[in-house]
């Protein structure tokens, strides 16, 4: 209960403190507060004292949330091939190009196109590029810092996409602090739904509150993911082959990508993303 109180308290303080900032500043402030709270929540599973340098590295220089793996000095880590470094560096360059070159051209066509181009660039620059380089750096010195994104486009099912390939940092946190406690009490189905509801709630806090609109849409998006995941595993889903082959990939893409405007809704793109892109000189 104490970790959740810390999470709620830090998030509430960030929301209140962010009232004096522009919308994009509120977004980063709330996101940072929730991330710090999540970091602290993960430490309670680490029993023994840790070296100061390794602990500082986990808290300050690693975006993942699997404290047990990162802080376990007995784990053997295979060093990555140079091709992984090249790919991550290329992704950083691609993301930066979308942000500081393509977004400006897209603005002349439509503001929403500019916002989505910039958001795509930010995801590539940060999650697929910079964070992957950080992962490679830690792994090069023997730390078990697995990539946060594991080729999500290769997911053959919706369940595989969310549980194995997209943002494993959140998956690690949600599994230990939401899924397992709920599953022990009321079963796996309710636990799965609880994870998606939790994800929707924190996205509403980081997206809708700073934008001052679109409340509930991110939560609705993740509720849709929960329903679709259950359908995928149902008898009808198995008959339709939604967990394998091209059908599984098509179903995953349709459920994840097509409703994305529910998650990154218009108030967010207009009130948060476009002003942020302007501030960083992208527009």
Query: What is residue 76's predicted lDDT score, i.e. its pLDDT?
Result: 87
> Residue 63 domain-assigned?
no
DSSP code per residue over 127-176: IIIIHHHHHHHHHHTT-----S---GGG-SSHHHIIIIIS-HHHHHHHII
Residue 206: which of 6, 32, 5, 4 has the closest Cα?
A: 32
Domain limits for position 178 = 149-283
Burial of 46 by CB count in 10 Å (0-12 exposed, 13-18 middle, 19+ buried)?
Answer: middle
pLDDT at position 3 is: 57
pLDDT computed for residue 260 by the predictor: 97
Q: What is the pLDDT of residue 40?
A: 85
Is pTM beyond 0.85 here?
yes
> Does pLDDT of 16 surpass 80?
no
Of 259, 262, 252, 221, whose CA–CA distance to 159 is shortest?
252
User: Which residues does 136 contact at the CB level (< 8 Å), separation at least 6?
Assistant: 80, 84, 85, 88
Number of domains in the chain: 1
Residue 36 is assigned to a structural domain of this protein: no
pLDDT in tens, 103-150: 999 999 999 999 999 999 999 999 999 999 999 999 999 999 999 999
Residue 283 has pLDDT above 80, yes or no: yes
Helices (H) and strands (E) in the chain, counts: 19, 0
Over the stretch 223-262, which tens digit does the pLDDT of each residue have? Answer: 999 999 999 999 999 999 998 899 999 999 999 999 999 9
Residue 73 has pLDDT above 70, yes or no: yes
In a domain, 94, yes or no: no
For range 45-50, the mean pLDDT: 68
Residue among 282, 213, 205, 278 at smallest CA distance from 27: 205
Q: Report yes or no: 206 and 30 within 8 Å, Cβ to Cβ.
A: yes
% of residues, the chain, pLDDT over 70? 92
| pLDDT score at 220 | 97
User: At residue 48, does pLDDT exceed 70?
Assistant: no
Of residues 212, 182, 213, the one with CA closest to residue 197: 182
- Residue 57: the pLDDT is 93
Q: What is the pLDDT at residue 9?
A: 61
Lowest mean pLDDT among 15-29, 117-131, 151-165: 15-29
């Amino acid at each position: 209960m104490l970790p959740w109180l810390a999470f709620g308290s830090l998030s509430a303080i960030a929301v209140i403190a962010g009232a004096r900032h522009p919308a994009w500043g509120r977004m980063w402030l709330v996101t940072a507060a929730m991330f710090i709270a999540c970091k602290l929540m993960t430490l309670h599973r680490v029993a023994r004292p840790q070296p100061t340098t390794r602990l500082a590295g986990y808290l300050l220089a690693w975006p993942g949330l699997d404290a047990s793996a990162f802080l376990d000095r007995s784990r053997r880590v295979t060093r990555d091939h140079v091709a992984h470094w090249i790919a991550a560096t290329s992704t950083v360059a691609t993301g930066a190009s979308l942000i500081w070159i393509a977004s400006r051209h897209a603005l002349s066509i439509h503001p929403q196109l500019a916002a989505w181009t910039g958001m795509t660039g930010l995801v590539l620059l940060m999650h697929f590029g910079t964070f992957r380089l950080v992962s490679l750096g830690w792994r090069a010195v023997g730390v078990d810092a697995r990539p946060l994104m594991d080729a999500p486009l290769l997911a053959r099912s919706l369940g595989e996409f969310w549980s194995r390939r997209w943002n494993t940092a959140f998956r690690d946190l949600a599994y230990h602090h939401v899924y397992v406690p709920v599953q022990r009490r009321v079963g796996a189905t309710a636990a799965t739904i609880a994870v998606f509801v939790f994800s929707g709630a924190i996205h509403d806090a980081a997206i809708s509150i700073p934008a001052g609109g679109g409340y509930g849409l991110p939560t609705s998006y993740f509720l849709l993911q929960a329903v679709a995941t259950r359908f995928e595993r149902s008898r009808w889903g198995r008959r339709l082959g939604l967990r394998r082959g091209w059908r599984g990939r098509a179903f995953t893409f349709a459920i994840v990508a097509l409703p994305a405007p529910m998650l990154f809704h218009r108030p967010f793109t207009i009130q948060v993303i476009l002003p942020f892109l302007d501030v960083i000189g992208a527009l």
